[in-house]
Structure formats: C-alpha cells, structure tokens
Amino acid sequence: MAENQTSTSRAAPRAAVRGPVVNDLSIQVATANGSGSQSSNTVLLRAIFQMGVPVSGKNLFPSNIAGLPTWYTVRASQDGFVARRKEIDVLVAMNPETAQDDVRNLGPGAVVVYDAPLGLAAVRDDLVFYPVPFDRIVEPVTTDGKLRKLLRNMAYVGVLARLLSIDLAEVERAIAKQFGSKAKARDLNLAAARAGYEHAGSLEKRDPYVVRRMDATRGKIMIDGNSACALGALFAGVTVVTWYPITPSSSLVETLIGYLKRYRIGPDGKATYAVVQAEDELAAVGMVIGAGWAGARAMTATSGPGLSLMSEFAGLAYFAEVPAVIFDVQRVGPSTGLPTRTAQGDVLSTAFLSHGDTQHVLLFPGSVEECFSMSVAAFDLAERLQTPVFVMTDLDLGMNVWMADPFSYPERPLDRGKVLAKEDLDRLGGFARYQDVDGDGIGWRTLPGTEHPAASYFTRGTGHDERAGYSESPAMFERNMERLARKLETARSLVPAPVTVGPGNARVGILDFGSSHPAVEEARAQLLAERGIETDELRVRGYPFARAVHEFVERHDRVYVVEQNRDAQLAALLKLDLAPELLPRLRSIAHVHGLPLDARSVGDEIAALEGGATAAAGPRERRAS
C-alpha cells in the first residue's frame, strides 16, 4: 500500500462544530498520476474562485510519467489565507493504492467522498462517509470505456458542488473556460459534472461545510508563478532564451516561448528573438553570457542540479562582469532529490556559486505579482550591475496556481546601465573598462559594434587591470576584488527593499522570504489570536541584504528565520552579514519535508520556543521620538 505523502503527521481534529463552517475548508483529491484529474481539479478551484471566495491550490505529484499517487488540495479561506493547510476537511478518495492511508491520516469529523467499491466506511467510525458509484454515474454519458475513466474525475466535481453548495452554474462556466473551443470535450465534461451533481442530491448531508458567495476575488486573476516570470521576462525585453528542460522550471520557458511566438514577430513575419534548447545547463548559461556580452537581454531557467552545472560560467560572468539572468525554480535536493517537491535549498550555494570570492545578487519573489515585477527588475539590475542576477522561486510558487491582482504595466524605461556610445567616446577619447570612476564599483562598458576605435576591450576571466589588460599583479588583483565588493555594496540599495508588517514594537520578529510568506502571515494571526503573542514580520526580497534587514534584527529581542531547507541557509547568510553581537538574537525555523509550508507548523514551533508566555512576547513600550 502506497504511503500518504501529503502530511508529516495525522491531522488534528477541528474544535467541536455546532453550526455550518462557511468558506473555511481544505479539500484534498487523491488520484493517480496520469488519470486525467488535473482539469477537474482546476475546474473545482476556479468555480470556488468565481464565487468570490479566496482560494488556493496545491498539486503534489510524483516524478514519474503515470501511475503513482497524486494529491491535489484546494483551500477556501474567507480570511484570504492561501498557505497549505495542515488539516484536511474533505477527502475525495479515488486511488485504491492510497485510499486507506488517506482516510487514516484525517482528523476526527472529516468528510470522505469515495468511490463506492473501495468500502472505506469500514476503516474508521469517526468520519463522515459519502460512498459514490462513479462508474455507474458516468455510464450514460459515453460508451467509450477510456473516456469514462477520465470523466469520473469531473463527476466528483459535480458531487462536491452539490454537497458543498458550490453553484453548478459556476462549475459549468469553469468547464467552458477549461476546454475552450474543444466542444466535444466540453460537452462530455459538462454532462459528467451534472450527473455527479444529480446523484449527490440523493445523499443526506451530514457535515457542516458550505461554500457561499463572497466578493473577495473581484478583479483578481489566477496564474502560476512560472507563467508570471515568463510574462515579466517578455516585458523586460528578453531577446535570447537558452535552456535545458528540468522540473520544475521547464514550464517557465515553455510558456515564454508561447508568448514570444505571439508577441515578438516583426513586420516581415520573422522572429525578433532566439530560443535555443542546449545540450545541457552548462552550455545554456554559456550562451546566455555570450549574448549578454553582445548586448542582448538573455536568460535561462533551471533548478538545483542544473545550477550546480552552471557554477564555472557563473564565476566567469561575475569576474568578467557580464549581465545575465538565471531563474532558479528550486526543488528538494541534494542530487536528484525529490524533483517534484518544493524547497528553498539553493539559497546559500547560489549566493556564492563558483569558486573563489564569488558573490551574486539574488531576488526572492514572494507572490506571483512579484514573480512578474522582479523578473522585469532582474534584467535592469543585471545590466546596471553588470553581473548575473538570480531570480529564486520554487516549485510551490512556480507550478501552483495563485490568486493575484492584475499585474501593473512597467512604466520605467529599460535600464541598460553604464553603456558608452560613439558620441560618449568622441567626447572622452577613451575609457578604462574596469575603472571605478564614481565609487559605486561599476565600470563603464561598450557594446560590440560600437563604431569607435577606442570602443574595444578584451573580456577575460583571468587577472586584469583597469583597462582589461592581462595582469598578475597582486596589488592590482586585490584592488579589482575590492571594487567588486563595492559593487555588491551598491546592490544593497538597488535590490527590492524588504517588506515589514506588524505593530513595529513587538519583542518577537519573524524574518522570511519567498513562498514561506503565506504560511508566516497566517501563523502570525494564529499566534496573536490563540496565544497572545504579538510579532513583527520582515520579508526579505533581495540579497545582498538591505540595511533595513539589519535594523529589523536590532529592534527585536528574538528573530525567527523561517525557511524551507535543512541547514537554515538564509540564517547562515544573515550571520555572515550582521554584527557579531546581533547573532544570538536569531532563531531558526527550518523545514525540509518537500511539502508547501503550513502556518500551524510555523506557529506551533515559535510558540514552543517562546514558552507560550504571553508576557514574554508582548509589545515593547513605544519610545517618544
């Protein structure tokens, strides 16, 4: 029997329920990979969204092509919380391999909708069971045996719609959107959903869960982070894309290719971009560096194993000072690890990717809106700083669908950084490629093809002087490395500033980044409501750390650093950056199970470390200014 991989322990029961539970539930659908459930789960998610209820979806899928267990979780939250919820309220059990384990992992009082032949009602006596004969329900819909197996999935959407009071019209609208112009598929799925809805009318409702209309999603969109990054790269003016497929980053480039084909065709009908699928990740990043040197806006996308292969070229781009943008959609490592599980485990290695004193600029999007905006910013930063910039997302943020406000159209012109044109060289007479003329550590550059005899210089990864000439002078090498360090100091004020929320005078601070933020946001609310522990939160959005990060640690007695890796990598970077006397204030909350982070795990761990004492975690007195 397959192990249930969706939780680290049996779910805790809800508090005793006396009335309906409205717009506050977590639905888990357990199927097998390749069984055709993806469309049905998307329809379920979208139908609830269309009813105005804040919703989120998490897909836990295996790394093989077909056959292994898959779990998809839809969370509805009237309070707008979108992190994974540890407790499952409604289970749809469709996979015989995991069904009994799935049921055993539920908390008392949970609901189970299951394929009737599985006989799950005998497993426990403290749950609400709804057996459904899915084969019999879809039998009148089609005579095609293969299609019947697929349509069973849309039938469970219809059953859930009836049991949970999800408007059938919204289900039908979501099906129409999902299948678009594919009329036959649309009509078959509509019939299956209606058949499930009609059958559920014969079931006696014995659970408290209800979905009711709200108006909390008006004007919002639904999009995954990889698509948002792709759209940001398009708006940033990317013209060269090189890649090697790897989960979970492949869909980023695949989506971008679709955008480029649609929006980057010139008046002559020819493409105004280049996409190259390289033989491996090392070749891919090498092409990016060559294109960046030539003046193109170039990028690649990868995950941990591919990033490891890019190490040598990353050092070349850092030392030769060539712009490049690399998207790292992180997954669980080391080695192949868990390719379809999420993590934030590349932070420390990427910050210092390559040998010697190499140090890189990292951006940490915490939402799909920031996947878009930081993708745009990454290209500007890469050219302004003349260095590789890494956009650090992860599988949860990249591959799952999130609610978002519509993206803002970029208003600022592209920032090409310090580039000398022919007219500049006419005025100056020449330039020194690696000379710091204004104290920010960044030299001026020219682009190939600039028509001036003083425009050329030799780009090299060996020791060089200010005019790019070969040099093994110890003093010259040290000055060059010190200049590169000044450039990283300049980057502190250029990377996206951290975001701080909270009263501002709490003794306890929480520091997080990326996809950990939704769990931290909800955990802070739980800590205050259930334990009286007030907290401030700072969400890091870029590295090198802005000075505001230092100031946040200085203002708090204890700072919990929340991240999704084993070795507390962000905390380690902080310890390298902070004054020594501040280090004892840091506490680590690190998780590496591969599941999207949930609020209950974060809040419970902080509460345990705080000793549960309200007084110890109360606010400081405000000082008069």
pLDDT at 17: 58
- Listing DSSP states for 329-369 in one string gives EE-B-STT-BTTS---TTHHHHHT-SSSS---EEE---SHH
Contacts of 287 (CB under 8 A, 6+ apart): 240, 242, 276, 278, 298, 300
Residue 308 lies in a domain: yes
- Name the residue range of residue 527's domain: 499-617
Residue 183 within any structural domain of the chain:
yes
- My answer on whether 137 and 229 are in the same domain is no
Q: Residues 550-579: pLDDT tens digits?
A: 999 999 999 999 999 999 999 999 999 999
Whether residue 188 sits in one domain with residue 227? no
State mean pLDDT over 407-427.
Answer: 96
Helix (H) or strand (E) holding 27: strand 24-32
Residue 62: predicted pLDDT: 87
User: Among 473, 492, 511, which residue terminates a domain?
Assistant: 492
- CATH number of the CATH domain containing 231: 3.40.50.970
pLDDT bracket for residue 622 (50, 70, 90) = very low
Name the residue among 58, 71, 59, 56 with its Cα closest to residue 24.
Answer: 56
Q: In the predicted model, is pLDDT for residue 33 greater than 90? A: no
Same domain, 460 and 380: no
Predicted TM-score (pTM) of the model is 0.94
Convert the pLDDT of each residue in 250-301 to its tens digit.
Answer: 999 999 999 999 999 999 999 999 999 999 999 999 999 999 999 999 999 9
Q: Which tokens is 6 given?
A: 């969706």
Confidence check: pLDDT of 3 > 90: no
Same domain for 294 and 432, yes or no, is no
Query: Which stretches does DSSP call E strand in 78-231?
Result: 90-93, 111-115, 128-132, 209-210, 221-224
Token output for 611 = 């000793």
Does 623 map to a domain? Answer: no
Please state, in angstroms and rounded to a whole number, the distance separating the CA atoms of residues 519 and 515. 8
What is the percentage of the chain residues whose pLDDT exceeds 90?
Answer: 92
CB atoms inside a 10 Å sphere around CB 335: 7
pLDDT given at position 34: 80
- Contact predicate 195/230, CB 8 Å: no
Task: Output the pLDDT for position 68.
Answer: 86
What is the tens place of the pLDDT at every residue in 43-63? 999 999 999 999 999 999 888
Q: Looking at residue 5, what is its pLDDT?
A: 60
Tokens 């004492």, located at residue: 613
Question: Do the domain assignments include residue 279?
Answer: yes
The mean pLDDT of 185-192, rounded to a whole number, is 97
Q: Are residues 179 and 200 part of one domain? A: yes
Which residues 6+ apart lie within 8 Å of 138 measured at CB? 148, 151, 152, 155, 192, 195
What pLDDT is recorded for position 105?
96
d(CA 375, CA 114): 43
Give CA–CA dist 174/160, Å, rounded. 14
Query: Is there a domain that residue 465 lies in?
Result: yes
Residue 600 · residue 524 · CB < 8 Å: no
Looking at 203, 218, 233, the residue that finishes a domain is 218
* Pair (67, 92) in one structural domain: yes
Spatial CB neighbours of 620, under 8 Å, sequence gap ≥ 6: 505, 506, 507
Q: What is the domain-level CATH number for residue 550?
A: 3.40.50.920
Q: Is residue 248 part of a domain?
A: yes
Same domain, 239 and 173: no
Average pLDDT score over the chain = 94
Please state whether beta strands 401-404 and 586-590 pair in parallel, antiparallel, or not at all (unpaired).
unpaired
Sign of the alpha-carbon torsion through 253, 259, 264, 265: positive
pLDDT tens digit sequence for 345-373 = 999 999 999 999 999 999 999 999 999 99
Same domain, 213 and 227: no
Q: Is residue 600 part of a domain?
A: yes
Report the number of distinct structural domains present in the chain.
4
List the CATH number of the domain containing 157.
Answer: 3.40.920.10
Asked if residue 574 and residue 453 are part of one domain, the reply reads: no
Co-location of 103 and 117 in the same domain = yes
Burial class (CB in 10 A: 0-12, 13-18, 19+), 94: buried
Are residues 230 and 378 both part of a single domain? yes
What tens digit of pLDDT does each residue of 143-172 get? 999 999 999 999 999 999 999 999 999 999
Give yes or no: residues 244 and 387 share one domain. Answer: yes
Mean pLDDT of 195-210: 97
Distance of CA 176 to the CA centre of its chain: 28
Note whether residue 16 is domain-resident: no
Mark which of 345, 378, 404 sits at the end of a domain: 404
State residue 624's pLDDT score: 32
Condensed to tens digits (0 to 9), the pLDDT of residues 419-430 reads: 999 999 999 999
> DSSP class of residue 91?
E
**Can you tell me the mean pLDDT for 298-326?**
98
pLDDT digits (tens, 9 = 90+) for 589-621: 999 999 999 999 999 999 999 985 443 444 544
As a whole number, mean pLDDT of residues 397-423 equals 96
In percent, how much of the chain has pLDDT > 70? 95
Question: What pLDDT is stored for residue 621 in this prediction?
Answer: 41
